[in-house]
A and B are shown apart, each in its own frame.
Chain A
């Protein structure tokens, strides 16, 4: 039975249209995953060296023990964003004569087979043997490592329960935000020292087996909790709940001035708000607005005079992240209803213009929201203005034009994290012009005249692009019209 399930799983991944069409993407991602895990392992190996040599801490074990809690808080965060829920598979099996408990056990355990499970092992196993085992003996090292693994793996089950129960709800976001605050509050502001509070617990783990036993109980307890929750909610109505209507019969007033294109921009806005994947994209561009805080205040990027060249890149991202992220899957967002636009007169034309309008509108919002960065210096306002103009005049057309290379269908109701549906080679190559184009214009002027001349060049080219907008957007429209049959049939998944 279990083997049949496993075989089905394998077939599913091999035969999925996404896999067949973008085997290259799959290989690339697999490679990326291995690379990342290798980095984690490497980090684990030099963890001791880093702590002693670079951080100049005498007692490495003491240091690790008092900081482990932050690792777990961080793990909670990344698990929340990355970990996938296994329930989607459930409805395919529910009607079959297999006992529900068997299916759920299988799905839960299968979800455990994931790179995330390995991270804590790879990171702490070398340290446990190099340092803890050396100091306290082998059995202590094993006990210490096991309690870390059990904590990390307990988080896995906790997250399965937590995400299923609270995802996409305000409570969920509030709790995640609370966890973040818990970490930040203790380390940055020093209201309390979370590390020191929980340190004895991990110290105890290397001397006594009691924490190990307790954690083992917690591990199984949380597994059982997740199991119970899934078992009780294994009904179709609980899995894919109908959403409450968002923005019913409302429209964004601004767009109505732009005629048909405005209508469609408004539709697109509804599409974004009403699908999980696009909502996540929107949320992410909100987060990216804070991107500047990492770079602009970082001493590593402070130049002697003027500003670091790096900031052009940061500026492009802050003002254009939504355009880049959403625009790179330009037509795939409409893969479910592309025929609608084909069937209506001037439908494709209006659709594409509407999308442009929306991208420009949201980029304007991002630019306006980024104005407070002027607090760090007027240079940043100039950088944002120049990159914003350049994004709107030049990069937007590059992104859209490249994205029209074999657009792929995708399911908008899946989450956005590590979901590469709709992503093809074009989306990977896109990074080159996106990052390269601003520097291609900026650098010659910046190096030979001065940085402000570089910004001016970006701005002027951007404005020129905006002025010839109709011509440039017509290129994309024509391209869609020429390829309409291929696009439409690939969206219907006929190929």
Chain B
């Protein structure tokens, strides 16, 4: 699904990302962990063609992300609020996305219905701009938007941050369900080791831009990570 080859990002002398190779198969839930500044967000941004790689390439379904745009229809993402139109109300924002993805009103209704519990009546039909919502609610809007248009790949940066405990739980269940029923590939970066080890099939540990651990054994994950982070 996603192939990373010899990827490197360099700002002058500082190498912030150096990933030799990475292969993420379809419907894998891929977790990315690492300390602050390890390069998690940079990796995601390069995957989304928001930042230019100094060397190497990212292929999604065999297409180089920096060369074409067809992959964008199949990839959903929420990294930060730059990806939202914060001067719209959530309803207007979803309506705009509906038109961009070419969905019908019915599709949108069905899609948002999946989030009824997650939204907890705080998001829809509220007369508030996204920029005036609380951080957690902004995140909810972003996540629901990233899941629109039946994406095959979804990238989420710190999806659990700022969410209340019950919403975190709902999000976890939702991710697992989508993976099961629609074969969605998830890429999730997080500092919350409990959550990632719980939902991810595989966790890659970044340190100073390099992948230093690639954990696939669910039983061993938590132990190894706790050892690394000293928790």
Contacts and interface: CB of A to CB of B under 8 A. Distances in A.
A195 B95 CA distance: 58
Interface stretch (B29-37, B76-84, B170-178): B76-84
Interface of B: 48-52, 69-70, 72-73, 77, 79-89, 91-92, 95-96, 99-100, 127-129, 132
Nearest to B69: A345
Contact of A337 (B70, B73, B82, B127): B82
A338 B82 contact: yes
Contacts of A492: 82
Contacts of A271: 87
A243 interface: yes
Contact of B129 (A243, A337, A412, A488): A243
B51 A344 contact: no
B69 A346 contact: yes
Interface string A393-420: 0000000000000000000100000000
Given A263-B99, A274-B129, A485-B52, A339 B83 contact: yes
Interface in A250-309: 260, 263, 267, 270-271, 274-275
Contact of A249 (B51, B77, B81, B91): B91
A343 B50 contact: yes
Contacts of A30: none
Interface string A230-250: 000000000000111100110
Nearest to A342: B50
B129 A267 contact: no
A336 interface: yes
Contacts of A485: 50-52
29 contacts: A243-B129, A245-B89, A245-B128, A248-B89, A248-B92, A249-B89, A263-B96, A263-B100, A267-B88, A267-B96, A270-B87, A271-B87, A274-B129, A275-B87, A337-B83, A338-B82, A339-B79, A339-B80, A339-B82, A339-B83, A340-B82, A340-B84, A342-B48, A342-B49, A343-B48, A344-B72, A412-B87, A484-B49, A485-B50
B83 A343 contact: yes
Given A342-B49, A344-B72, A346-B69, A245 B99 contact: no
Contacts of B95: 249
Contacts, number: 79
Nearest to B97: A344
Contacts of B77: 343
A308 to B, nearest CB: 43
A20 B80 CA distance: 25
Contacts of B89: 245, 248-249
Interface residues of A, number: 32
A319 to B, nearest CB: 28
A340 B87 contact: no
Contact of B85 (A242, A267, A346, A488): A267
A168 to B, nearest CB: 16
A491 interface: yes
Nearest to A272: B87
Interface in A460-492: 484-485, 488-489, 491-492
A344 B76 CA distance: 9
A361 interface: no
Given A242-B132, A249-B91, A345-B72, A336 B86 contact: yes
B87 A488 contact: no
A210 to B, nearest CB: 52
B50 A337 contact: no
A338 to B, nearest CB: 7
A270 B69 contact: no
A236 to B, nearest CB: 13
Contact of B92 (A249, A350, A484): A249
A352 to B, nearest CB: 14
Contact of B83 (A270, A340, A345): A340
A280 B82 CA distance: 24
Question: Which of B48, B73, B79, B92 has the most chain A CB atoms closer than 10 A to its own CB?
Answer: B92
A180 B69 CA distance: 55
B49 A489 contact: no
A100 B208 CA distance: 44
A409 to B, nearest CB: 10
A245 B83 contact: no
Contacts of B52: 485
A159 B122 CA distance: 39
A248 B83 CA distance: 21
A396 B91 CA distance: 33
